[in-house]
Amino acid sequence: FGSSNLGSSHCSSSTAPRLPMAAQQNNFLGTPIKVSTTLGEELEGELYCYDVSGSNSLILRQVLPNGLINYKWVRSNVVREVKVSGPPKSADEELPPINLAKAEERAAEAERQAAEGVETAQDEKADD
């Protein structure tokens, strides 16, 4: 997504050890990034996970001012640009568990709201 190629090796020396593809890709997890979307949104957070072969999306982990954690799901087709804003977190840091059922509910609700917004915009355009 963006100008980054998550699947390529970022070693500049031919003597650098070659890592398996999965290990190379995991080097990006925990990296603070800024994502600009084609919809004009500017999102910021840690790269929590990404899936280029299935859902073609990424999840940002955002720490809120009240200390709670928010996860933002972004489809790669709306990503215009990705910028790294700091070094990745330590690989040995334990990640918090995710309630997948709750995440699926929130995703379905967000998609429903987005579909309603599209329908409303189409209805308004038809009224013109």
Top-confidence residue, 111 or 10: 111
Model confidence, pTM = 0.52
Beta strands across the sheet bearing 57-63: 69-75, 57-63, 42-51, 32-37, 79-84
Long-range pairs for 52-55 at CB < 8 Å and ≥24 separation?
52/1, 52/6, 52/7, 52/76
Query: pLDDT, tens digit, for every residue of 73-124?
Result: 999 889 999 998 888 776 666 767 888 899 999 999 999 998 887 776 666 7
